[in-house]
Homo-oligomer: A and B are copies of this chain.
Amino acid sequence: MNKQEIQIKIAKAVEIVKESKPLAGSITNSVTINFVANAQLAVGGTAAMVYLPDEGETLAKLGGAMYINVGTLLPIYEDTLPHTAKVLFENQKPWVLDPVAIGIGSLRTKVLEQFKPYKPSVIRGNASEIIALAGLWNLEGGTDTSTVHGVDSTVSVRTAKSAAVALASWTGGAVAVSGEMDLITDGSTVAVSYGGSEMMTAITGSGCSLGGVMAVYASVADPFIAALSGASVYNLAGMRAEQHTDGTGSFQIAFIDELYKASAQDISMNEFTLEEV
């Protein structure tokens, strides 16, 4: 695909979402769960969140795609998360994995290991998380030393390129590395999306809610287009929101407004570049 073909696909994905309001259920952390839901609604999707195994299964079958974020694990997640991922895989439903804070705690490690055969359609994380996940799954570009510090990445986006490519090659889907720019790859093509705002790092949940929005788009588009559409609307909304706010509280509100107002045309035209792996 050349750039123009990609832009047309992004615009189409955004439009279909606005018209059809697809359901993308989530199992996600309690810190940013409200932001995830409101971001999904703002771009036109439908949100629903659950904790229990059979409810995860129901949402997996009912929705067009699903978002799984391992941010704040509860004991029941030991059952819910692998079971839901398995159902998603077996039903060929696209799903987005957010390996938040990989390296903290034994259940997180266990669950993330269990996800490997269920091949998430999109993996979204910061550079440290993507490198650590590739390491956990014994893929190229990974590392067995977690460099994750809380939820912030300590390394640059570019550093995670080979890990991202290896993960995408394994899953057959896409990987999105979030940071000062966003690197999205399907294992053969790499897109780099530009824009955003420094303030996105000073609010909680810009990464989580981006994962939720990618799941909305994944219900109507292939993983690479879904991930790039999500990164594009986030970078666009971040730039716009920053222009009329001077604090992080009002930035977050303006950011949701801009997600809501962004047109398919504007999102598809947000700056990105293409490169070979």
Q: Using CB atoms and an 8 Å cutoff, list the residues of chain A in contact with chain B.
A: 21, 23, 25, 29-35, 37-38, 41-42, 46-52, 54-55, 58-59, 62-63, 71-76, 101, 104-108, 149-152, 202-205, 245-250, 252-261
The one of B59, B149, B246 in contact with A257, judged by C-beta atoms closer than 8 angstroms, is B246
Kindly state the separation between the CA atoms of A259 and B246 in the bound complex, as whole angstroms: 11
Inter-subunit contact A37/B204 (CB<8 Å): yes
Inter-subunit contact A257/B261 (CB<8 Å): no
Inter-subunit contact B49/A248 (CB<8 Å): no
Inter-subunit contact B260/A52 (CB<8 Å): no
Instruction: Chain B residues near A245: list those with CB within 8 A.
Output: 257
Q: How far is the CB of A191 from chain B (nearest CB, A)?
A: 27
Inter-subunit contact A260/B202 (CB<8 Å): yes
Kindly state the separation between the CA atoms of A124 and B194 in the bound complex, as whole angstroms: 43
Inter-subunit contact A73/B55 (CB<8 Å): yes
Inter-subunit contact A107/B257 (CB<8 Å): no
When C-beta atoms are compared, the residue in chain B nearest to A30 turns out to be B30
The one of B41, B46, B55 in contact with A203, judged by C-beta atoms closer than 8 angstroms, is B41
When C-beta atoms are compared, the residue in chain B nearest to A205 turns out to be B34
Kindly state the separation between the CA atoms of A39 and B42 in the bound complex, as whole angstroms: 21
Instruction: Chain B residues near A71: list those with CB within 8 A.
Output: 49
Inter-subunit contact B254/A250 (CB<8 Å): yes
Instruction: Chain B residues near A247: list those with CB within 8 A.
Output: 42, 254, 256-261
Q: How far is the CB of A219 from chain B (nearest CB, A)?
A: 12
Most buried by B among A35, A49, A245: A49
Known: A204-B38, A247-B257. A23 touches B150 (CB 8 A): yes
Instruction: Chain B residues near A104: list those with CB within 8 A.
Output: 48, 50, 55, 58-59, 62
Q: Which 5 A-B residue pairings sit nearest by Cβ, starting from the closest?
A: A247-B257, A249-B256, A55-B105, A249-B253, A37-B204
Instruction: Chain B residues near A23: list those with CB within 8 A.
Output: 149-150
Q: List 5 A-B contacts (CB under 8 A).
A: A32-B37, A46-B152, A50-B104, A52-B74, A54-B105
Known: A46-B149, A55-B104. A32 touches B29 (CB 8 A): no
Instruction: Chain B residues near A107: list those with CB within 8 A.
Output: 52, 54-55
Known: A31-B33, A72-B49, A247-B261. A42 touches B202 (CB 8 A): yes
The one of B32, B47, B105 in contact with A50, judged by C-beta atoms closer than 8 angstroms, is B105
Known: A47-B150, A150-B25, A203-B38. A54 touches B106 (CB 8 A): yes
